[in-house]
Amino acid sequence: MGWERREAPPPPGVYVTTASYHSKLVEDYCARYHLIYLVAVYDRDGTCQDLYQCCSSQPRSDGRCFIFGDVEWREELAEKCRVETYLYKFRDIRDALKTLLEFGMHVKGIPCTEFNIDVLRVTGWCDVDPICCDVSAVKEKIIEEATATYHQLQTQHLPSGTGDAAEEADDGCAELARHAAETLGADVSRLRRCLCRT
Amino acid sequence: MPHIDVLLEACKKKEVAAARPRLCALLLMYKHLPRVGVVYLRTSAHRTPVQKWLEDMPGLTGEDKRVIMQKLMKAIGEAVAELKKKVGGVASAATLRRAILRLLLEELRNSA
């Protein structure tokens, strides 16, 4: 038995993504496409016959029907948009949420952080990809690495301060000034004073 | 996305901003996206928000700010070029938001 298709708006339920709604965007979208909703119906004891009816008869807080869609459904959309709803029955709540999560992430390309954190936790997605749920560990690592790199670079750029190195640098500069003076016919000592300031 | 503020806080350290310009640039781009409407992808559009953000960064000399600004704008330029390939030069804010998030998650996974 596959997904049950209805040409009707989604029944009441819990949206698995942080659903946003912008009427202008929805109008543009509806001018070209149908709105599609996937509804995972959690039916542990298998008593539900009409899936749509089961969701409609439950209070919203019951958490029996989980919905994935591009926008949260509103009555006003009925006039502007063609809508399709696909329903499927699940015995396990984890399977229900995981199906919607994987569809959203892999088919629609929605980043995991746009899903409700509870959905990510229940499906075990926080263990698969911890960044989706908590970035504090990564943040610490980034700060640590960046600080270490910064200090390493600072140490490398510090002048060694030894006489030999200073002399070497000075010799290099003097040599360069001499060449420039020869080529340009400039006063070597003045040129050196200008160029070889430490 | 709560992640953004947590990570932007890390970017306020000059060591992080200098060492991870791409990460900080993507975070700033995400943060300054409008919530609705159509967005034209242009590097220059991000200059002022980045400058303002840098103004609020504590303990930075003028030279530090100049160097970090340069690095961030370079990273933003690269990110904009990548995003243009993915979503085109003009995209809805929602599409762009998701595209930036995907790049961000990729960047974070590389750091983890």
Residue in A25, A135, A143 closest to B3 by CB: A135
Residue B52 distance to chain A (closest CA, Å)? 22
Residue A99: predicted pLDDT: 95
pLDDT in tens, A48-60: 888 888 888 865 4
Rounded to the nearest angstrom, the gap between the alpha carbon of residue A166 and the centroid of all alpha carbons in its chain is 51
User: Which of A123, A153, A175 is where one domain is finished?
Assistant: A123
The residues that bridge with A84 in the sheet, in sequence order, are A36
**Rounded mean pLDDT, A127-136:** 90
* Nearest partner of B7 among B17, A51, A101, judged by Cα: B17
Residues A148, A189: one domain?
yes
Asked, for residue A170, whether it belongs to a domain, the answer is yes
Contact: B6, A137; criterion CB under 8 Å? no
Average confidence (pLDDT) over A18-35? 78
Q: In this complex, is the C-beta atom of B32 within 8 Å of any C-beta atom belonging to chain A?
A: no
Task: Report domain extents, chain B.
Answer: 2-111
Domain ranges, residue A183: 137-195
Q: What is the DSSP letter of B46?
A: G
In a domain, A129, yes or no: no
A150 close to B (CB below 8 A)? yes
What pLDDT was estimated at residue B24? 95
Would the pLDDT of A19 be above 70?
A: no
Shared-domain flag, residues A87 and A144: no
Does residue B68 sit at the A interface (CB-CB below 8 Å)?
no
Residue finishing a domain among A73, A99, A123 = A123
HSE of B90, CA atoms in CB hemisphere, 13 A = 2
Contact call for A113 and B101, based on CB within 8 A: yes
Residue with tokens 């869609």: A69
Do residues A25 and B36 make contact, with C-beta atoms less than 8 angstroms apart? Answer: yes
Residues in chain A within 8 Å Cβ distance of B3: 113, 131, 135
The conformational region for residue A46 under phi > 0 = left, psi -120 to 50 = alpha, else beta, is: left
ipTM over 0.90? The verdict is: no
pLDDT at residue B27 is higher than 50: yes
For residue A108, the model assigns a pLDDT of 87
Q: Which letter, b or e, does each residue of A5-29 get, where b requires 16 or more Cβ atoms within 10 Å of its Cβ?
A: ebeebbbbbbbbbeeeebeebbeeb
A151 lies in the same domain as A112: no
Q: What is the pTM of this model?
A: 0.75
Average pLDDT over residues B48-75: 92
A130 occurs within a structural domain: no
CA distance A80 to chain B (A): 19
- Please give the torsion angle defined by the CA atoms of residues B66, B105, B81 and A27, in that order, rounded to the nearest 10 degrees: -120
- Mean pLDDT, to the nearest integer, of A64-81? 88
Interface touch B111/A112, C-beta < 8 Å? no
Label residue A154 by pLDDT band (50, 70, 90).
Answer: confident
How confident is the model over A133-157, as a mean pLDDT?
86
Query: What's the DSSP call for residue A61?
Result: G
A84-115 tens-digit pLDDT: 999 999 999 999 999 999 999 999 888 999 89
- Can you give the pLDDT at residue A123? 94
Which residue in chain A has the smallest CA separation from B102?
A111
For residue A72, is pLDDT > 80? Answer: yes
- The total number of structural domains in chain A stands at 2
Instruction: Answer with the residue of higher pLDDT: B93 or B36.
Output: B93
A183 touches chain B (CB under 8 A): no
| Half-sphere exposure (Cβ direction) of B12: Cα atoms closer than 13 Å | 13
Nearest to B98 among A110, A141, A143 (CB): A110
Q: Please judge whether B19 and A139 are an interchain contact, meaning their C-beta atoms are less than 8 angstroms apart.
A: no
Residues A156, A107 within the same domain: no
Residues A70 and A8 placed together within one structural domain of the fold: yes
Q: Which of A25, A136, A150 sits opposite B36 (nearest CB)?
A: A25
Mean pLDDT of A157-180: 57
